[in-house]
Amino acid sequence: MNKILEKKSPCAVTDLGDIRHVALDMDGTIYRGGTLFDFTNPFLALLRELGIGYTFLTNNSSKSVKDYLVHLSEMGIAATREQIYTSTNATVEFLQEELPSVNHLFLLGTASMTEEVGSAGFTFAADDANDEPDAVLVGFDTSLNYSRLCRAAWWIKQGKKFIASHPDRVCPTDDPTVLLDCGAICAALKEATGRAPDAVLGKPDPRMLRGLLRREGLHPRQLAMVGDRLYTDMAMARRAGALGVLVLTGEATADDAAQHLPPLDMVVESIAELGERLRAAKEAKTS
């Protein structure tokens, strides 16, 4: 076993006995690229056996919950709508709770994002100087149109609220290209307008987990945030007060974990090892 895994983290194994729900990052945690890890479905089955709920989390706002249901199904994972939570979901909740006067949006987003936000009761401004929005909302717009980008900049210059669904500058891909994500689009708008977003949702913003905690009726220490990125998954877990579990099946390495300050709550080779620890903690709690 890698030496980093032998070190005791601030959260002892017995703390896992309090976990009632697991928030799972997707790429790098339950699959890599287009390949599902062979231990993913056994891990999910174990969670069900232990009575632990789970939700799949993603910053990718280009796809709707419906899209992700299809994506996971094609990979062999059965999930319900309630088990998927995206940065779009977090953004909608933020707008409803913290900006209730915002209803009419100028949106830079895909058709899937438009449908999802629209289903929450929001309306959308056209690319027209006479159609004034309450705010500009920027997502991972894979159909980005130059005219609409310029119109978004215009409304931001006029002082409209500027909201971003998540901070990622690029979206991971195995293809020979660079996929400019929401953060890169926002960077262009910032350069053009002199204004950064007023709010950036998604990981690592703790509101992403707080929405999930509220929905599931959980205390932060009853939730484990599991992912492969230090600056999103683990940073969000710490900021939200949840247990952060870093897996070494994606971006971060054991050396990255060993050098990280403050020390991480828990580091495991994969969710398979996390499952073993959850089972042991459950048995210890009931014995």
**1 or 100: which leads in pLDDT:** 100
Do 43 and 100 fall within a single domain?
no
pLDDT score for 8: 41
Domain presence at residue 80: no
CATH number of the domain residue 31 falls in: 3.40.50.1000
Q: Which pTM was predicted?
A: 0.87
pLDDT score for 11: 47
Q: State how many domains the chain has.
A: 2
What span, in angstroms and rounded, lies between the C-alpha atoms of 225 and 266? 10
pLDDT score for 13: 43
**173 or 96: which leads in pLDDT:** 96
Domain presence at residue 64: no
For the stretch 44-63, pLDDT in tens is 999 999 999 999 999 999 99
pLDDT score for 1: 39
Do 118 and 189 fall within a single domain?
yes
Do 101 and 177 fall within a single domain?
yes
Do 149 and 230 fall within a single domain?
no
Confidence of residue 134 (pLDDT cuts 50, 70, 90): very high
Do 215 and 177 fall within a single domain?
no
Do 182 and 129 fall within a single domain?
yes
pLDDT score for 27: 87
Domain stop point among 138, 171, 200: 200
- 166-172 long-range Cβ contacts below 8 angstroms, 24+ apart: 166/59, 166/60, 166/61, 166/87, 166/139, 166/140, 166/200, 166/201, 166/202, 166/203, 167/59, 167/200, 167/202, 167/204, 168/59, 168/140, 168/202, 168/232, 171/60, 171/62, 171/140, 172/27
Domain presence at residue 93: yes
What span, in angstroms and rounded, lies between the C-alpha atoms of 52 and 46? 9
Instruction: Please determine, for residue 173, whether its predicted confidence score (pLDDT) is greater than 90.
Output: no
Domain presence at residue 282: no
Do 154 and 255 fall within a single domain?
no
Q: How far is CA 83 from CA 58, 113, 234, 235, in A?
A: 11, 18, 20, 22
Domain presence at residue 245: yes
For the stretch 178-215, pLDDT in tens is 999 999 999 999 999 999 999 999 999 999 998 889 98
Do 106 and 133 fall within a single domain?
yes
Q: Which residue is associated with the tokens 């977003």?
A: 197
CB 239 within 8 A of CB 194: no
Radius of gyration over every alpha carbon of the chain, rounded to an integer in angstroms: 20
Do 98 and 187 fall within a single domain?
yes
b/e string for 242-281 if b means 16 or more Cβ within 10 A? bbbbbbbbbbbeeebbeebeeebbbbbbbbbbbbeebeeb
- Domain span including residue 267: 3-59+209-273
Domain stop point among 200, 235, 258: 200
**Stretch (H or E) spanning 240:** helix 235-240
Domain presence at residue 287: no
